Amino acid sequence: MRLLFIADPLETFKPHKDSTYAMMREAIHRGHEVWASEPADLTWRRGGHVVARRARAITLTGDGHHWFETVSEGEIVLAQADAVLMRKDPPFDSEYFYATHLLGHAEREGARVFNKPAALREHPEKLAILEFPQFIPPTLVTRSADAVRAFHEEHRDIVLKPLDGMGGMGIFRVGADGLNLGSIIETLNAGGTRTLMAQRYLPEIADGDKRVLLIGGKPVPYCLARIPQGSEIRGNLAVGGKGVARPLSDDDQRIAQTLAPVLGARGLLLVGLDVIGDRVTEINVTSPTCFQEIMQQTGFDVAAMFVDALEAALRQPS
């Protein structure tokens, strides 16, 4: 099969930890043809089809620095690929949004896109949790500074975050003393022009912010607990958190077994839940990661499970 990955520039990949790289490696191992392009290359013209103007067919070298070689390069009609995998990292900005519309039009032309573009738009990673209140901590979504202050007064120890952040960017904790609350609100809501999220602080973060992966409507049996280090409150690997793979707990299983079939049925082949204690804090759908960390620590081949699910999805009628 010909698989087209829409992703960040290949030159920016870190092959020792990148989940998209793990997907590509497994696909090539199975004999599939792997092509890569970037969202900026997506183009449509009246009378034509959605194309990737500059797509590269690649092979892997095994070299950690120069990890791929381009074996062919050219324009690809998305509908002529067997599958298109959208793996562009956040932020989910206007350009990402426009890319999902082009991918949606490619679907109308016959392309098979994973995750489905409409599902990507309908599940913004911070706000998708609102649909599952039984699994989330006390949460507020607002532009109002007064509403945030009232939320802090009620819960005393809270976390504030922007809706378009990734990798722990822009996350603040405000304790009972309320120190710097006003300044943090001003920073995040830009004078009432931007919406932010506040959640009650979960002390279970000390034991890790768990990434629970759902693939093809089923949970991966291991999660990666990302444990904050030193005085840091964030467990994200991008800010120095320590990743420790663990079997899913009973609470993790309960959450995953409930959400996996619902999200899978919507065209979300791959989802990454962020779970602290027994509470879901985010539902990641753009480019969930942690494949390689789980594989390296447990031996469970997450990439193989993903490609199995992709192949099964392609056998089903669109």
Q: Please list the active-site residues.
A: 126, 161, 211, 226, 234, 274, 282, 284
Question: CB-side exposure of 47: number of CA atoms within 13 Å?
Answer: 0
Burial class (CB in 10 A: 0-12, 13-18, 19+), 132: middle
- Among 204, 150, 199, 143, residue whose Cα is nearest residue 178: 150
Task: Report the distance separating Cα 209 and Cα 203, nearest Å.
Answer: 11
Distance of alpha carbon 281 from alpha carbon 127, whole angstroms: 9
Cβ(186)–Cβ(149) under 8 Å?
no
At 94 the three-state DSSP class reads: helix
Q: What is the DSSP letter of 30?
A: T
DSSP state of 80: G
Inter-residue contact 163 to 195 (CB < 8 Å) = yes
Burial class (CB in 10 A: 0-12, 13-18, 19+), 313: middle
The secondary structure of 206-246 as a DSSP string is: GG-EEEEEEETTEE-SEEEEEE--TT-----GGGTPEEEEE
